[in-house]
Amino acid sequence: MSQSSAQRQSSRNAYSHSGGLYLLCWFVGCILLAFLVVPLVALALSESGRSIANVARMGDVRDAIALSFVAAFLSAALATLVGVPLAYGLARAAFPGKGIIAALVDLPLAVPHTVAGIALLLVLGRHGVLGEPLQELVGLKFWSTLAGVVAAMLFVSAPYTVNAARIGFEAVDPRLEKIARTLGLGPWRTFARITLPLARRSILTGVTLTYARSISEFGAVVILAYYPMTAPVKIYELFLQFGLDQAASASVLLLAVSLTLFLILRAVSRGAPPRENR
């Protein structure tokens, strides 16, 4: 038997031995997948196309959905601007208290979002530690404004960008950076031409998760800003005023728009592999 034939036979044997494990993993995974998908399918099937179209014609609903996407984009952009440098520092530097900083980054993920909203209100609210002086000095306020919506979204979603980017930077071999430095590239050019492209997929994944989490945020937004209404806040108001029907139709509309956008973002984040630097 030739070496190639022996290798193929070995691969088939390994696959047959692990086939039961694959089947078990897929079975258990499908249980979770069904748990995630079935409620959303039930929601989508509960509403007719006419009821969804009627809700889509409501200007305040369209404005709320548009505001959610715009504010989430700003939140993701800010998370990228300040979160990626922090992620690089956590991935490359060793210093006392590094574990504490990493834990602080993760803390908003564990804090109930109503608690996050109250905390933000104490700092950025009308009489907050920063809110009052910022309004007096530069006219910036965070209550009943887009700035408040973005701040609330950023607080609860930024950890996704930082953590994903940190994992991406840690996966880049530091020897590649050292080689680039020995070839004459400075630290900034090494970061821009070597490190950043190699970590690009992880960063894009984190930004996508930040964007998605920002769109869905309710608790912190409704406490800190409330107005202008984002889609989750508007859907909650529809539920309180008119019951389940209009709220469910608006939910399906938001779900459809979000799903389309997230599929596009996922395709971008999984796009062409990072370019090779010669």
Instruction: Return d(Cα 194, Cα 197) in angstroms, integer.
Output: 6
Residue 54 CA, chain-centre distance (Å), reads: 30
State the Cα–Cα distance between residues 266 and 278, nearest whole angstrom. Answer: 28
For the chain, 278 residues long, give each residue's pLDDT as a single digit of tens.
455 555 555 555 555 556 778 888 888 999 999 998 898 888 888 877 888 888 888 889 999 999 999 999 999 999 999 999 999 999 988 889 889 999 999 999 999 989 999 999 999 998 889 998 999 899 899 988 999 999 999 999 999 999 999 999 999 988 888 888 888 888 888 888 889 999 999 999 999 999 999 999 999 999 999 889 999 999 999 999 888 888 898 999 998 888 888 888 777 766 645 444 44
Phi/psi of residue 196, nearest 5 degrees: -60, -45
pLDDT number for residue 242: 86
Rounding to the nearest 10 degrees, give the CA dihedral for residues 175, 177, 179, 185: -170
Q: Cα separation of 115 and 118, whole Å?
A: 5
pLDDT at 9: 57
């404004």: which residue's tokens?
145
Residue 182: per-residue pLDDT? 85
What secondary structure does DSSP assign to 61-120, as a single string? HHHHHHHHHHHHHHHHHHHHHHHHHHHHHHHH---TTHHHHHHHHHHHHHS-HHHHHHHH
> Angle, nearest 10°, between helix axes 146-171 and 98-110?
130
Domain ranges (residues) in the chain: 1-46, 49-269
CATH for the 49-269 domain, from 3.30.1380.10, 1.10.10.60, 3.40.50.300, 1.10.3720.10: 1.10.3720.10
Closest CA to 9 of 58, 17, 170: 17
Q: Among all chains, which residue has been given the structure tokens 């700035």?
A: 147
pLDDT at site 278: 41
List the structure tokens of 217. 């945020």
Q: How far apart are CA 196 and CA 66, in angstroms?
A: 31
| Phi-psi category of residue 226: left, alpha or beta, with phi > 0 → left and psi -120 to 50 → alpha | left
